[in-house]
Amino acid sequence: MILLRKSFRALVFCWPKRPIALCSLILILTSTAGAQTDALNEIEDSVVKIYTTQAAPDYFTPWRLLNPRQTSGSGSVISGNRILTNAHVVANASYVQVQKHNDPQRYQARVVFVSHESDLAIITVNEPGFFSDLTALTIGNLPDPLQEVSVYGYPIGGKTLSITKGILSRVEQQIYAHAGAYLLAGQIDAAINPGNSGGPVIVDQQIVGVVMQANSGGRAENLGYFVPPSVIRHVLQDSEDGIQNGFPDLGFRTQALDSPSAKAAYGLRKNQNGVLVIKVFDGSPAEGVFEENDVILKIDDYDIAEDGTIKLSEDLLTDYKHAIDMHHIGEEILVTFSRAGIEQKAQLIAQKSLESYSLVRGEQFDQIPQYYIYGGILFVPLNMNLIKRWGSDWARSAPVNLLKSRNEWSSPDRREIVVALQVLAADVNLGYHDWRNWVVDFVNGKQVIDFEQFSNLLQENTEENVVFENQNGYQIVINHQDAIASEQDILTQYRIPAAHSGDLFSE
């Protein structure tokens, strides 16, 4: 209707004194401009504002929630009456609402699917007719370097839709700030502020990226980052059955092999390049296939350079991990490797990543923290949620002994670290009131494997005393009967609802 009105005005302007050729040109230009305006209007209508109430657990006092906070983000309508946004926009959310462009009403929404590692989420609105006047945007292809893109969203500081432009300056693997995953990401020079998160990056009326948090370095630069189309498509396909499988991990770790001496030592020819296998995890797809000191030469058809990169196009290099990331669970991955100079091939089945290949688990969301209080001592498993509780500068402010644990591999004998986080002062723990952030390696001489086994050791203890010991020999000794007898009084005194999290000891 808008286009018809514009064409009619053009005809009135032309009739009857203008040349026919000029009138035809005016009609064409008017129609083209009108079509472009309509396309832009459709994009604007398809970008929504998302309001959330988030209440994350307090990992310092894991039986409590932090104060609820109101946040906002952006999203875009895609096929199937779905809205694509960031995972961090809806993480730990107790209430989600969506607001259309130029519409004051807020509609209650629900989360359909979340991929925290890729910082992507899908939500929907059940209100009848909500999507009837909205056009679903399609997923396009990754822009070329130096190509101009448009960023749509609702940054803080205003209520209306914001559109900024920028140039694609870089595409490479980045550490995603939300959950710490290492995935492909795009970088643009458009200003992106809080509230823009989850908004689309647009080229030719298609989504070519989803704005996400800046990388975890926290530097104040005039740069923005987005989730690229390949990662978006992977998540959308993963969401089809409603089960979050994530990105596969074959269960080996490598280092760059750019030293000529090292290449020769591991049997590579001068024209061969690859990465050196330094760790193979038990129970992983790589177990029994790779050995330490093997050299990975190719993933599928991608040759691996000496610095660990692969060539996705003439203008794009990125970490070889991307070739694995783009597979789905259950698919075969062809790996070419060299062992003592002999080239071999193997087909590995892509599997879900184990809970953690590190002794320190990655940050988790939408989950209740684990804890166990024994003898007034609060024990918790060490994870990134706890470490980040020390604030935005956690890499400097968190205890050094906990930070160092991030560099240790897990094994069947030790899958998790248990920390005596704090002591709730009472008679039963007299002498230890100032002990905190203390790693427990042994309980009555038995090595701690993980938090569940640690909790069972306490629950099933028959010894008179329980001796907690670290690897340096320092000990905490608690009388078992005193611990049991004082438990309820300690819980009452410190207003704690239960001695342990509800998931422990459940059948």
Beta strand spans in 44-181 (E) = 47-54, 69-78, 82-85, 93-99, 106-115, 120-125, 148-153, 162-175
pLDDT score, position 384: 95
The answer to which of 114-123, 214-223, 314-323 has the lowest mean pLDDT is 214-223
Across the range 468-487, mean pLDDT stands at 97
- pLDDT exceeds 50 at position 2: no
User: Over 94-115, what HEC string results?
Assistant: EEEEEECCCCCCEEEEEEEEEE
pLDDT band at 28 (very low <50, low <70, confident <90, very high): low
Overall size of the chain counted in residues: 507
Place of tokens 């790779």: 290
Each residue's pLDDT tens digit, 264-315 = 999 999 889 999 999 999 989 999 999 999 999 999 999 999 999 999 988 8
- pLDDT exceeds 50 at position 370: yes
pLDDT band at 39 (very low <50, low <70, confident <90, very high): low
The answer to which of 384-388, 408-412, 466-470 has the lowest mean pLDDT is 408-412
Structure tokens at 76: 């875009």
- pLDDT exceeds 70 at position 220: no
Backbone angles phi, psi at 61, to 5 degrees: -130, 80
Asked whether the beta carbons of 421 and 437 are under 8 A apart, the reply is yes
DSSP symbols for 414-468: B---EEEEEE---GGGTT-TT--SEEE-EETTEEP--HHHHHHHHHT--SSEEEE
CA 252/CA 20 separation, integer angstroms: 72
Each residue's pLDDT tens digit, 50-74 = 999 999 999 999 999 999 999 999 9
Question: Residue type at 48?
Answer: V
Each residue's pLDDT tens digit, 221-280 = 578 899 999 999 999 999 999 999 999 999 999 999 999 999 999 999 988 999 999 999
CA 174/CA 182 separation, integer angstroms: 5
CA angle 111-81-124, nearest 5°? 20
CB atoms within 10 A of CB 354: 14
- pLDDT exceeds 90 at position 507: no
Compute the mean pLDDT over every residue in the chain, rounded to the nearest whole number. Answer: 90
User: Which candidate, 85, 12, 11, 23, places its Cα nearest to that of 48?
Assistant: 85
What radius of gyration, in Å, describes the C-alpha atoms of the chain? Answer: 28
Cα dihedral sign for 281, 283, 285, 290? positive
CA angle 346-351-357, nearest 5°? 100
Across the range 111-120, mean pLDDT stands at 96
Asked whether the beta carbons of 476 and 377 are under 8 A apart, the reply is yes
Place of tokens 């925290």: 116
DSSP symbols for 196-208: -TTPEEEETTEEE
pLDDT score, position 172: 92
pLDDT score, position 223: 82
User: Which candidate, 314, 430, 330, places its Cα nearest to that of 376?
Assistant: 430
Which residue did the predictor score with more confidence, 58 or 31? 58
Given phi > 0 = left and psi -120 to 50 = alpha, else beta, which region is 495? left
The whole-angstrom distance between residue 212's C-alpha and the CA centroid of its chain comes to 10
CB atoms within 10 A of CB 477: 13
pLDDT band at 158 (very low <50, low <70, confident <90, very high): confident
Structure tokens at 17: 């004194």
pLDDT score, position 9: 45
- pLDDT exceeds 80 at position 38: no
CA 175/CA 166 separation, integer angstroms: 22
pLDDT score, position 36: 54
Asked whether the beta carbons of 282 and 410 are under 8 A apart, the reply is no
Across the range 435-455, mean pLDDT stands at 97
Asked whether the beta carbons of 170 and 213 are under 8 A apart, the reply is no
Active-site residues, by number, are 88, 119, 197
CB atoms within 10 A of CB 215: 16
Each residue's pLDDT tens digit, 354-368 = 777 889 999 999 999
pLDDT score, position 1: 43
CA 463/CA 118 separation, integer angstroms: 47
pLDDT score, position 7: 46
Across the range 384-401, mean pLDDT stands at 95
Q: Parallel, antiparallel, or unpaired for β 377-381 and 446-447?
A: unpaired
Structure tokens at 2: 């808008």
Asked whether the beta carbons of 418 and 382 are under 8 A apart, the reply is yes
Backbone angles phi, psi at 19, to 5 degrees: -65, 150
Buried (b) or exposed (e) across 429-467, using 16+ Cβ within 10 A? beebeebebbbbbbbeeeebbbbbebbebbeebeeeebe
- pLDDT exceeds 80 at position 351: yes
User: Which candidate, 368, 447, 377, 462, places its Cα nearest to that of 419?
Assistant: 377
- pLDDT exceeds 90 at position 6: no
Q: What CA–CA distances, in Å, run from 417 to 218, 384, 453?
A: 27, 12, 11
pLDDT score, position 41: 78
pLDDT score, position 295: 97
CA 65/CA 193 separation, integer angstroms: 27
Report how far apart the first and last C-alpha atoms of the chain are (Å, whole number). Answer: 64
